[in-house]
Chains A and B, each alone.
Chain A
Amino acid sequence: MKRSEKTIAKQNARRGRLARLGGEAMRAVRLPETTAGGFPRVTLLADLHAEIENHMGVLELAERIIRLKTAIGILRIEGERLDIRSAERESMLIDGKIVSVCFEIPQ
């Protein structure tokens, strides 16, 4: 079990590096960075919905906070009455009154 967790962590780290590399490559050839796979994309509809693409899993799920792992760090969504309306392998739709969306600074 520990081994598999380590493997997953390694894979995630590799995906993060690849995403960054992909983003830099896209910038170098003057293409939109969104075309590079791996970058999380967050779409907000007012303060009602947040759609997160390219997430890498749920770290914390509570009524006031949802933390998602992404290729470039941990995405923190704060609000009230938060719930996950739909969770799929690469995308997630969060409902509730969203107050803030931010990336956590690594310690």
Chain B
Amino acid sequence: MFLWKFPCGYAKIVLVCARPERFINDALRCGVPLHNIRRVSKRELTALVRLNGADALYELAHECGAELRIIKTGGAAVLVSSLLSRGALLIGLFSAILLMALLSKRVLLISVDGANGASVRAVRALIEDELRLRTKRIAQLDRELIAARIAEADPSIALASIDFDGVIMRVHLIERTPEPEEDDALPSSIHADRDCVIIRIAAREGRAAVRAGDAVRRGELLISGDLTPEQGGEARFVHARGEIVGEVARRIAVRVEPVCIAPVKGEDRAEVCAIDVFGLRLTSASGFSDSSLELTESSALDAAFIPLRVSKGVAHRLVLGEKRLTHEQMLEEAEAELAAKLLAALPEDALIVSKSTELLWDEDGALLLTATVHTYEKIGFTRYL
């Protein structure tokens, strides 16, 4: 019966007249159905009527000398008409949605990390002014080209990499570290200090022995300080200098046993009671230095807006023993240990390029978590000739 209410729209009317019953009959005779008719007083009643029937009722009320008031309107028709009357609001809303849709294709925020304040500002200015990012769509941007331009523009930056995260452009920088004080007079060469794939090599003094993309082993020559011509001639040696960035792959494994030694509940126990007030728990002395509290009964004694709860329970003495871990606990422990190992293994200037983890459950229930991490790092150490 009330299915008509929302789609057709309705009006709640108050009718005041000498004989409301007669008005109802007249309305029905005119073909205006009434709903939820309720007598408020002898001369007054309320009813629901369709929106299109309200005008006819007005005329009828006028003819009968009755007073008719609409106190509420609702339904889809009213909603649509009120929305249409707020045309400006609708236009504004659609414009905002359209603008957001257009802007979502472009870079709105630039996040730069891995460099000091001056470099960050310089990189930001370069990206905004010279590359004119705002005028281009994200799909049109060449990440490698932008990274190369950043590295070219600022000599203090050794390597730049760019990622897009929605409308945020994340720029990761690796700064050049000041060269250690070396005896510049002595001829030397630069060798690889770990196995890696060369990403970028720039020999400022000396001759590059490898190229970008080459895989090198630890100790392999990267920049040679021996500039003696191959055809023979006068021997010439220099102190080799340069910037070498390589991709290093690391594999870090963590094993967590299902059983560990941890404090567990012992045989000794004592009854205690606890009072909780304002989130603070006061417990009666159990007599144990380390104990685990297990509350069995609890009752609220809230009084004068003070949240007071008194509980009764048992305190167990904690002793060192074998504790069986759940899978979730093992995984949590393994992840924490792996994160700590990673932090210790990676150099400060390393930029993580990719990371994958592998989970393996042993037959004896132990968990083996292995992470493979690829990073961009500075490579090379000086060896005097």
Contact = CB atoms under 8 A, between A and B. Distances in A.
> Contact residue range for chain B?
10 to 19
Contacts of B28: 57, 87-89
Nearest to A82: B39
Interface of A: 57-63, 83-89, 93
A84 to B, nearest CB: 4
Given A88-B28, A89-B29, A61 B34 contact: no
Interface string B165-178: 00000000000000
B28 to A, nearest CB: 5
Contacts of A59: 21
Contacts of B345: none
B36 A58 contact: no
A86 B24 CA distance: 11
Given A85-B1, A87-B28, A89-B28, A61 B33 contact: no
A63 B35 contact: no
A61 B37 contact: yes
A60 B35 contact: no
A33 B311 CA distance: 76
Interface of B: 1, 20-21, 24-25, 28-29, 31, 33-39, 45
Nearest to A57: B25
A93 B34 CA distance: 11
Contacts of A57: 21, 24-25, 28
A75 to B, nearest CB: 14
Contacts of B25: 57-58
Q: Which 3 A-B pairs rank lowest in CB-CB distance, beginning with the nearest?
A: A84-B37, A57-B25, A88-B33
16 contacts: A57-B21, A57-B24, A57-B25, A61-B21, A61-B24, A61-B37, A83-B36, A84-B36, A84-B37, A85-B1, A85-B35, A85-B37, A86-B36, A87-B24, A87-B35, A88-B33
A85 B5 CA distance: 13
Contacts of B24: 57-58, 61, 84, 87
B39 A87 contact: no
Contacts of B38: 83
B20 A86 contact: no
B109 to A, nearest CB: 59
A87 B39 CA distance: 14
Contacts of B31: 89
A27 to B, nearest CB: 30
A58 B21 CA distance: 6
Nearest to B36: A85
Pick from B1, B34, B37 the residue with the most CB of A within 10 Å: B37
Contact of A61 (B20, B29, B35): B20
B34 A84 contact: yes
Contact of B39 (A63, A86, A88, A89): A63
